[in-house]
Structure 1
């Protein structure tokens, strides 16, 4: 495969078994540079398990995956991060006693090249790199409108801003692939629209490939270029947002065996699928233009 066409992520027949339970089976996916791909499915479909496989939390019991041509099976979590995969979590995991800027600076750890002696004696090299890292951190925070809060303790940020800070910290690792696990969970509509705007800026400005788990189907339909659907750990559909919205297997997976809407998550999600489809038709969009863009 030529360098120009080599995908950022290539997963082939990836799977994991816990005892006698196959949590994920035969998972195959390709993500190219700059693509924003959605991974959706009902609760328990295996979406977060896929994230855990891709980040070294779990070791696959079948299949293989590559990051930018590098075979990743068996690598530890810190090795995965160094190779270029970063993630966020459904439950925000910040260093809440550190400031906003310090949370980003932590992710720059690999970029510091001065030694302990330089830090102790405050050498010119130390101060030069400290200034460079500060400027880089502030540039990232500006993308998320967090630069004015750089000295604020992370624990004191509103929920939506904590979400954005977590993504900014992930971006600071210099990753090639960003895994977002329900980034809009718990956000109000205004916060969600702002977050998706930031995600699009990241993709457009840095060319970062993004794999997104999100329960809000209307957002997924608007922001994702392609969508892959899991059910009981297996892929049941893959295609454009319009194709997914029209796929009978996808609708059946959310509704259950019956052909009638039922109360609960399936009802809400299918209505979102149908509503997003109607919105696209009315606006003349196809869900791939990258405009505004927790289940398990």
Structure 2
């Protein structure tokens, strides 16, 4: 298989244990280029633990993670970002006192090429790159419908807009795989509908793959091409939205076993 044919993300037999308790066990997933994939399960199923493994927050005790064919095991979080994995969080983690534009520009820091001397003495190379970064950051804010909020302080934005700003900041890393951890949490129906449109736009515009954790099942069923369900750290189902919606194991995991 050549590089172009490889999956963007391939995870084989991934697992992690905390004090003898297996939080994730024998987890396997494969996501193709530009694919939108859902990871769902009841509270405490291990979904965020999977995200923490994929982003270097935790190191797996077993199994392997491959991004575009390159093994990621042992890499730190910043190395995962450099390799092409970016994420948002359940709890918003913005630089609250910075503007929306500054939040996006921070994520471009690793790609900046001007020298320390150029920055100190404000040489032409510094101003040229700063101008390019400003333009790119503003374009990303437009993508998430925040083009008119560039100069707003992040903490003063409404909740739904802060969620979208997190996505813009993740996009600014130039990732190949975007992990969205409950992006619709706390949103009203109008904000959720806008979010759905934005996710579809960025997947198409940037040709990236998306792995989504979400409790809003209507959003998951509308947007995801494939869905994987885990419970107690173990995969219990995989398939299309229609297959998952009618799977007895999934229904039991969410609603409990029906009394006979």
Work out whether residues 42 and 231 of structure 2, in 8 Å CA contact, stay in contact via their aligned partners in 1: yes
Partners in 1 of 2:139 and 2:243 — Cα distance?
38
1:286 — aligned with what?
none
1:74 — aligned with what?
74
1:36-75 alignment runs, 5 A limit: 36-75=36-75
What's the CA shift for 1:90? 0.6
Work out whether residues 252 and 259 of structure 1, in 8 Å CA contact, stay in contact via their aligned partners in 2: no
Partners in 2 of 1:5 and 1:239 — Cα distance?
22
Partners in 2 of 1:136 and 1:83 — Cα distance?
20
1:190 aligns with 2:209: no
Partners in 1 of 2:14 and 2:75 — Cα distance?
15
Partners in 2 of 1:218 and 1:120 — Cα distance?
51
Unaligned runs of 5+ in 1: 261-296
User: Deviations 1:97-141 (Å, cap 9, x if unpaired)?
Assistant: 000000000000012111111111111111110110011001101
What's the CA shift for 1:259? 4.7
1:124 — aligned with what?
124
Partners in 1 of 2:62 and 2:124 — Cα distance?
51
Work out whether residues 3 and 68 of structure 2, in 8 Å CA contact, stay in contact via their aligned partners in 1: no
User: Deviations 1:14-51 (Å, cap 9, x if unpaired)?
Assistant: 00011121100000000011001000001111000000
Q: CA RMSD in A?
A: 0.9
Work out whether residues 88 and 181 of structure 2, in 8 Å CA contact, stay in contact via their aligned partners in 1: yes
1:227 aligns with 2:227: yes
Partners in 1 of 2:121 and 2:49 — Cα distance?
46
SS at structure 1 position matched to 2:7: coil
1:136 — aligned with what?
136
TM, length-normalised to structure 1: 0.86
Figure out how many residues of one structure are paired with residues of the other and give that number: 260
What's the CA shift for 1:145? 1.6
SS at structure 2 position matched to 1:4: helix
1:12 aligns with 2:24: no
TM, length-normalised to structure 2: 0.98
